[in-house]
Structure 1
């Protein structure tokens, strides 16, 4: 085993997963994270972990952390449907059609960001350096990399991995030409609690993508409570615990930004609810109940952004992972899973370097080649989904709805669609 030393900038899902994998393999690794405390990242919605993500977590995490993940998650046992605005099925696939058979690391799961982050933080004492805001890096004369931080400190390693998210400073220096674009789509999202709610079964058990005749789209997904609440602190704000202690239906209404008023992102939740309800007049009452019955404090609007394609670059001892390189829209639900896939692949390649079976730059080059291929395929898929949501072509929508009905009725097409959703 060589004395390979790795530094990771950013303590998000992908960076922490990679750190666990390298530590398990005996590779020296340090994670530099700008936030100070564990609760700085209590945020957001639940995460869907697909088989790629499950496999990466199983491969990288210590046995105790993997078991903690399994003890926490809910198994996604619902189906997926494409429907009309009246909740009439275009095609509805069951969980058995979608879910692959196999072991625990080949399944779909739902987990809150809170619980997943706790699983990933556990056991990294001595590896994680909080409160370290990265500013820039320099390559040393011997090919190593020195990272500089806002507090005046610095650190040097053989490899620097930028896992610092969509606004990555590492990417900004390594690939200044790499850009993120505004897709022209706005999404308004909310949560409808299920304790005492009377929504129909299709909304409380399956995920749905509503494709109306006119414009816009509505996505719904069911999130069950984490089976073991990892953050039970009574001082934790109630809105955080909504994410992992209470069942809810997540919904997201998307359309072209031009269909919304200026400054929509800054509107209060109640105003956003009224706006979406006005745009869904005549839709199925259950869909309108879903929107109207949500807690206004959990309703927000975001402009959807996406990375632009990046050609392969000259491999150096600095590389990128996850959103730092292939940031994507949420319209395919695979961003976190793609980052985990990066982590598992990069862990294998760096472990080979440490073991002396591969040289550093060829190993990083192979990682970048594969990562750019599947990572930007995911970006294209999510961007395509986002732009379809913003289409106002009635003819195009009619064609999509017809194609969905045909897919549902033709077994080979149905199986192919289920296989894509199951990946």
Structure 2
């Protein structure tokens, strides 16, 4: 890497940040990544991510050919073009809206395939690990970015501020990629970037692949519209390989409308038995076809999560700061409806990385150009994700909605 120019500073080591870092690594542009956690595996990695055509294309444009092939080989490929909707109590197919009686379950994208007619997916943790390859010397853990300052007397340098009161070295650009609670996003946008708690809640779980035999290969949404607490559903992607190997696990993602899933003391950081038992209780009367997913689950991997969304109308405009910008969930946090969030995040990484590569580093007008282009596709994605969530999870954002 060139040592003559100031490094690009990156807050957070999530998907968007690490793929962006890979773009800089390939372009020989110096960078430093600051992650608040102690390691990539410090916390649960969440559910499996479906990669769209746009998402895969973005990733392929960043990685060199051997790295992308290694990434793609690691992805699971599932046959079938879309969801199969099933009634949780009867085990029977539902209509394409995921409802047997006009409930408007919302089907999400009609065709989930992205390459070769396959649904391509990968676990979030694996995705981060593969993106990080080669970046390890430049990733610093236990460094919690809480803001930034422009360097006095210079118009080309910025510093990240850390929770312990220290500061980073001077950087040519600061990129906030530290998720929905991004301090960089809040500061650079003057508070215009907001994330709302939609009230819906979820549980992520895993079980041995043998528990999924009765489903077979495909992408399934199982809907329970008769739960006394309100609609509860799961989504799972059952891949064809390793179905008889009990040492391998597949995941499922459960979502409940507001009030259906309640963590003790409203503490959604709980991981393990408490979350597992609630999932098992909610599915106690489900059809035997689905019971092994919960009865045989890996109790220690169960985790709660809140469903949030950025401003539903899209990414707002703020006064551009040439030395600071944002990527991923920090600028456009989305609901899980439609599986759009991660795919939009990697598009940010590819776009911003390409602009820096073409310019050989930061230049006047670069962040404004990135933000102008990003707002177009990201705003469309946020609106789509929110629209599907209003149907699937029965949520809405208004003046009384809680801000995360």
TM normalised by structure 1 equals: 0.74
Equivalent pair of 1:54/1:108 in contact (CA under 8 Å) = no
1:140-181 alpha-carbon deviations (Å, 9 max, x no partner): 333221222226242212211001111111112222242221
Say whether the 8 Å CA contact 2:78–2:217 is kept in structure 1: no
Structure 1: which 5+ runs fail to align? 228-241, 393-423
Counterpart Cα distance in 1 of 2:204 and 2:141: 31
Q: CA deviation at 1:348?
A: 1.3
Of the candidates 192, 215, 233, which is equivalent to residue 207 of structure 2? 192
| Separation (CA, whole Å) in 2 of partners of 1:277 and 1:289 | 11
1:360 aligns with 363
1:65 Cα offset (Å): 2.5
Confirm or deny: 8 A CA contact 2:220 2:237 kept in the other structure.
Answer: no
For residues 257-286 of structure 1, give each alpha carbon's deviation from its aligned partner in whole angstroms, at most 9, with x where no partner exists.
2675874645813530343125xx4x5432
Number of equivalences: 363
8 Å contact 1:272–1:301 — kept in the other structure?
no
CA RMSD of aligned residues (A): 3.4
SS state at 1:257 partner: coil
Q: Structure 1 residues 223 and 6, CA, compared in 2 at 3 Å: closer, same or farther? A: farther
| 1:207, distance to aligned residue in structure 2 (A) | 1.4
Residue 132 (structure 1) aligns with = 143
Contact 1:180/1:305, CA 8 A, preserved across alignment: yes
The 3 A distance-change label for structure 1 pair 5 and 271 is closer
Structure 1 residue aligned with 2:52:
50
Q: 1:15 aligns with which of 10, 17, 31?
A: 17
1:174 aligns to 2:179 (yes or no) = no
Contiguous gaps of at least 5 residues in structure 2: 99-106, 396-404
Residue pair 2:255, 2:393 contacting (<8 A) in 1 also: no
Q: Aligned to 1:350, what secondary structure does the other structure show?
A: helix
Counting only pairs closer than 5 Å after superposition, residues 23-42 of structure 1 correspond to structure 2 as 23-40=25-42
Structure 1 residues 188 and 314: CA distance shift in structure 2, 3 A = same
Q: How far apart, CA to CA, are the structure 2 residues paired with 1:107 and 1:30?
A: 36
Which shows bigger deviation, 53-62 or 147-156? 147-156
Contact 1:43 1:114 in 2 (8 A): yes
Which residue of structure 2 lines up, in the alignment, with residue 220 of structure 1? 235
**Moved runs in structure 1, 4+ residues, more than 6 A?**
none
Is the aligned partner of 1:338 residue 2:344?
yes
Cα gap change, 1:90/1:128 in structure 2, threshold over 3 Å: closer, same or farther?
Answer: same
Farther-moved stretch of structure 1 (58-67 vs 263-272): 263-272
**Could you say if the C-alpha distance between residues 366 and 153 of structure 1 is closer, same or farther in structure 2, counting changes exceeding 3 Å?**
closer
Distance 1:98 1:269 in 2: 29
TM-score by length of 2: 0.78
- Please report how far the alpha carbon of residue 249 of structure 1 lies from its aligned counterpart in structure 2 after TM superposition: 4.5
Q: Deviations over 1:212-266 (max 9, x none)?
A: 5554141321255999xxxxxxxxxxxxxx9xx6142514142222675874645
In the other structure, the counterpart of 1:256 is 258
Larger relative helix fraction: 1
Indicate conservation of the 8 Å contact 2:197/2:308, yes or no.
yes
> Measured at CA, do residues 205 and 226 of structure 1 come closer, stay the same or move farther in structure 2, by a change above 3 Å?
closer
Relative to structure 1, is the Cα distance of residues 335 and 41 closer, same or farther in structure 2, using a 3 angstrom cutoff?
A: same
Deviations 1:45-100 (A, max 9, x none): 3322222222222111233422321332222334422344433142499xx96535
1:326 deviation in Å? 0.7
* Corresponding residue for residue 237 of structure 1: none
